[in-house]
Structure 1
């Protein structure tokens, strides 16, 4: 065989091997390193930094003319596009699925955000994915707001929304939540707390809230006396009446921390079974009657107290 034919064969063999790494960087640019690992069976030539991608091969999904795909073998990436088609826009097949199925998919993806509210920076990957389509963004954020609980803590001097101290209650994204948990303390001077409750309730008016959980604490509950319990149950309706401005709520409930009624029943009945028993029963029945009517009014959307 002549030397010219041998040189031509060597040249063809060298052309088959690409000296540039076939992988993409984190910014989806072509890697400029030289390929240190040659092509193997089912693999691609990559540099030493991308050696783990040598056998993880996928195909470019860029749609060319006549609905034909590129299908060039490339290392796996989230976009699944080769270097030549890295700026192409891939079709979103998820929109072809029924709405109910898409909601289940979003619930699965957003499962880590359902237990509690997390700082904004942890949503970066979620936001980058949702920005691919306005429709997907609206559906996913709606799912997120429906499953997260917005915690609002109200006191005389401070208001905390989602764990952040607010100098004043201003409109914001917190109004988009569909589940709320109010926490406040029942005290003698209730003017400041009532004003904060009225401001929050006014901004949440007609928000189609699914669930409203109210958790009440009071220094009255630490004193196991009939007078202190009566004082708490007497002041609590003023707070709950202010929350009526929210309007219709799918499910409403009130939880009293350290409810004194069970303890008072045991101590009161044993000490003065005749005198204390009537007062305790009357107090409990009056509160139970008001609470049931308040829950019914909230679920029906009655803004004013029923006479």
Structure 2
């Protein structure tokens, strides 16, 4: 196991403040809706133009009762709207609402992550084409204020717990049981779930030690130990020995987990603006332009904002494992 110097910023880390900010964050509340694998799969499919129940079930492999429940929940929160296309028996298509279309940035970040790190069993387009500039492209995360491409290291974070968002305990979140096949795959709907994304966010905010992560997320040691081990196993975290205390372990982000930052920040922004109508308790600032950071996903060729109606793709079948 490698030995690394502990981050100096941890000396000033306020664990109580970090706990309260995470518990009242728009990310935490947004992940209550979009933090399980099936919901992510449904939204990916709908953005690909798959709208009918049987087609959604066939494309995603979601059990029919589970798919029915997820569609009902997405309709209830106003992300999807059913439209009758057959009367006898009644059959519906599920179309994106304006609120649902607002998830496009987050969905593009899912596509980008899946292309780089995801499971080979996930059926997604291999290429995206921007109609505006007539080029194939990869989506890139940019700053809405200045237009520059942005990564996690280009931002600073301040914390201000939002008293208007319910302070929910996170102890009750249990990691889902995975089959052997699921554990061997890594896709945004399998190993990367609400639980994992909150752990990664805690690390982004400076919580690198086991006891710090446990404190800010309110997670018991046995549950956290299993989750951290699983995240290390699939490459979402790197575990190293503290150079100053060999008894302690540090948890660091990896390239694959850093690439999840775009999804995290886009989902958090959507949840605050469109779902909760509240500011987040975790507030990023772009160091280069010194503006509060608002994400904008753009074409890496022409650098224009991307919209669903301006992007075409070629459908692909799931790749063989």
TM over 0.5: no
Max Rg structure:
1
Question: TM-score normalized by structure 2?
Answer: 0.20
> Which one has a larger percent strand, Structure 1 or Structure 2?
2
